[in-house]
Amino acid sequence: MSGTVYLMEAANLFCGLHDPTKSKHLTLAELKLPDLQAIYADHHAGGALVATEFEVGIQKFEPTFKLNGFDPDLLTQFGLGKKSRETFTAYGAIRDQRSGKTIEAKSIIEARLGRVAPDAFQRGEMMGHEYAMNSVMHYELWFDGAEKIAWDFFTSVWRVDGVDQNEDVNRILRIPGVQ
């Protein structure tokens, strides 16, 4: 049996504590989860004709979202006066195109609200604001109840499908919390 196609049909975002009053389902226009992009270092060995590259890490995560209208409560999460990170939780309704089943996607991001970029006002048009989550220190991506990716800066955990890809390095370096 061949595979299927999964399409996102709807999304919601909670900015801050998972409080029903923090739901952005009425104003959410766009949601962009962070790119997963490796960092590579070039290497051209002295005796090699052709250079190569080695993966040496992962680029910082830079998720964004756009809300229609103004959100005065969310603006208080921005700025140097706000020292702590917030928890942003995104939910997506994904449809399996083969079976018709609706599947939950969930992303949990601990970050600071680092940018608020208002659209230009134009009479008769919907003015919104684009927001950026910066200083990401924790990221999880779940699909149909299964953890697909989990990363935490402070514990140096990097799990893929529930398996810690960094466990041996953490153990060697005596990072706390690793067996």
Domains in the chain: boundaries: 6-28+63-144
Query: What's this model's pTM, rounded to 2 decimal places?
Result: 0.90
Calculate the alpha carbon distances from 108 to 75, 79, 172 in Å: 20, 21, 28
Residue 174 structure tokens: 């005596």
**Using 50, 70 and 90 to split pLDDT, how confident is the model at 17?**
confident
Q: pLDDT tens for residues 135-176?
A: 999 999 999 999 999 999 999 999 999 999 999 999 999 987
Local confidence band at 21 (pLDDT 50, 70, 90 cut-offs): confident
Q: Mean pLDDT of all residues in the chain? A: 92
pLDDT band for position 84 (cuts 50, 70, 90): confident
Q: What are phi and psi of 168, to 5 degrees?
A: -65, -40
d(CA 137, CA 45): 35
More confident residue, 28 or 79: 28
Q: Which residue has the higher pLDDT, 81 or 63?
A: 63
Query: What is the rounded distance in angstroms from the CA atom of residue 64 to the CA atom of residue 109?
Result: 11
Q: Inform me whether the pLDDT recorded for 63 exceeds 70.
A: yes
Overall average pLDDT of the 95-101 stretch = 96
Task: Tell me which residue of 154, 147, 66 sits closest to 107, measured CA to CA.
Answer: 147
